[in-house]
Chain A
Amino acid sequence: MRGYVLRRLVAFVVTLACVSVLVFVAIRVLPGDPVLVMAGPEANPEVVARLRAAMGLDRPLLVQYGEWLGRALRGDLGVSLQYDVPVGRLIVSRLPVTLPLTAMAALFMLVVALPLGLYAATHARRPGDYLAMIVAQIGLAVPSFWAGLLLILLFSVHLGWFRSGGFEGWTQGVRVGVRSLLLPAIALGLFQAAVLIRATRAALLEVLGEDYVRTARAKGVWEGLVVVKHAFRNALIPVVTVAGLQLGQLIAGSIILESVFALPGLGRLALGAITARDLPVVQGVTLFVASCIVAINFAVDVSYALLDPRIRYD
């Protein structure tokens, strides 16, 4: 168990290093001259030279990477060209939108998917199961941003219950903040909920077919107890894996929903930076989000070992 976690930890660090190389290559190497990307093709040569020296782009690539990574590890992701503020501070300032949005979408996903998946598995091949599977198929097919638009159409345009976008902040109380994030969180969580319904159903159906479940039933254990205590606990391992991986997808998906609902989060920061050719911001946000996703995947791997002591590293 400790050996497994230790080896996963080493793999995690190596993976993070790979992430940093990918981001560095995409921003500094692929475009040829990132300074020209930022300054634009008609830029004054003097400005270009100054920018290049300021960014240290006149030195060998490996040296540039080393220095960039060293600074990034200390939390220094450079300075935004657009806002003239450290990128790290910009990212932190946007987290109060993106993190609660992701968390609320994850909560929605769990609250919808676990009961429905459980219901579908215990009513397999009966009308309730088919209904749950149809709901899941629809959830998988509806793009999150269209779901967002339809929610705006219904709840903002027709019923007038919610504002069609914008974030009122947390200063006026939790309720106001949650209210502005509710529709986007539902739209964001819909697809992942559908995936999790199917995963929960499949995992539970497999466990319900095991011998020890039959034994429990034969002993006369109450069916609810069989499902929850005997079956669901063991079905949790694949369910936790899927739910964990979904969390990373939710962070990435929040970029789209922030755009639909005009929320000032990380995604809007990055999209605005592309229009403004603010490379340090794009680089910082993508490095941050990709590292978060890799970290979540690592946490899933470790929790896997905690939930199932039989797991060994192979």
Chain B
Amino acid sequence: MTRRRPTHVAFVMGLTITALLIGTAALALVWTPADPLTMAIGGRLEGPSSSHPFGTDQYGRDVLARVMAGAVTTIAVGLLAVAVGAGIGVPLGVVGGYVGGWLDEALMRLVDAVQGFPAILSALLFSAAFSPGVAISTVAIGVAFVPAFARLARGSFLEFRGREFVLAAAALGATDVRLICRHILPNSLSPLIVQATTSFPVAVLAEAALAYLGLGTQPPHPSWGLMLKEAQNFLGISPWFAVFPGGAIALTVLGLNLFGDGLRDLLQEGR
């Protein structure tokens, strides 16, 4: 038991940071110390003080309020992107793994091709076709998750397709849909849940990067990546403006990673 302790500590830390993130986002929905969009020309680029604990940005907006409001964007984009990835990837993998043959082969080549498009590349493509925005970046991040979800789902379907309990259910007259939904999918769920948990911090990083590049959340809406893009112009005079949003991203991703690692260990232990 003592050997497991560091993992345990890491998991609790991850859980705490994740709870803090969700709590901050929930609080930001009803209350922020100042309005994140209200500008004050008099108080631009101020350092941390009692009235503005994280200082103010180039328009005099309260950075703490904007970091808090940014948490909402982060969670929303992260959840939706993972949902897009799982929503497209899992059915692709299920069909490929269950049906097999040339259809499986064709789907897997498509998945290989999608792997050539990391979130940034899809975001570039979609932004050229439409116009840059948070919806585009969410879909682009989600598409980048498709290969991982498809491969996982396919892998476990290949594994379970020929197992006795599935063959027995099929012999008893279960339809394909019933075999997939009732018998195979529930058994494939735990790796998929782990994948979703580990994808979430990746989505947070990608959302920040795309917003930084101007391909995601657009001003004046608060996003951590966008705040860093704005902060870059004032690095020399107000470095703290770049420190707080970046710190928020790093802390969030750290917490989510620790949480995901711990969850995977727990699920593997339970197997």
B3, B115, B125, B228: which contacts A282 (Cβ < 8 A)?
Answer: B125
Identify the interface centre among A19, A157, A191: most chain B CB within 10 Å of its CB.
Answer: A19
The 9 closest A-B pairs by CB, nearest first: A18-B113, A290-B116, A146-B246, A141-B254, A252-B118, A282-B128, A141-B253, A31-B129, A294-B116
Bound: A253/B215 CA distance, A: 14
Pair A256/B120 contact, Cβ less than 8 Å: yes
Bound: A21/B112 CA distance, A: 13
Pair B128/A290 contact, Cβ less than 8 Å: no
User: Given contacts A26-B129, A37-B128, A149-B246, is CB(A144)–CB(B114) below 8 Å?
Assistant: no
> Closest residue to B14 on the A side, CB-wise?
A137
30 cross-chain CB contacts under 8 A: A15-B109, A18-B110, A18-B112, A18-B113, A26-B122, A27-B129, A125-B3, A140-B254, A141-B257, A143-B208, A149-B231, A149-B232, A153-B242, A157-B235, A157-B236, A191-B205, A253-B120, A255-B121, A256-B209, A259-B212, A259-B213, A271-B213, A271-B215, A273-B128, A274-B215, A282-B124, A286-B121, A286-B124, A294-B116, A297-B112
Chain B residue total in the interface (Cβ 8 A):
46
Q: Which secondary structure dominates chain B's binding surface? A: helix
Q: At the interface, yes or no: A260 with Cβ under 8 Å from chain B?
A: yes
Pair A140/B209 contact, Cβ less than 8 Å: no
Question: Which residues of chain A come closer than 8 Å to B215, judged between CB atoms?
Answer: 271, 274
Bound: A14/B110 CA distance, A: 9
Bound: A260/B228 CA distance, A: 10
Pair A248/B118 contact, Cβ less than 8 Å: yes
Pair A286/B125 contact, Cβ less than 8 Å: yes
Q: Which secondary structure dominates chain A's binding surface? A: helix
Q: At the interface, yes or no: A150 with Cβ under 8 Å from chain B?
A: yes
Pair A26/B112 contact, Cβ less than 8 Å: no
Contact with B along A272-314 (1 / 0, CB 8 A): 0110010100110110011101100100000000000000000
Pair B213/A255 contact, Cβ less than 8 Å: yes
> Closest residue to A298 on the B side, CB-wise?
B112
Bound: A283/B128 CA distance, A: 9
In A15-43, the 8 Å CB interface with B consists of 15-16, 18-19, 21-23, 26-27, 30-31, 34, 37
> Closest residue to A259 on the B side, CB-wise?
B213
Pair B121/A290 contact, Cβ less than 8 Å: yes
Question: Which residues of chain A come closer than 8 Å to B53, judged between CB atoms?
Answer: none
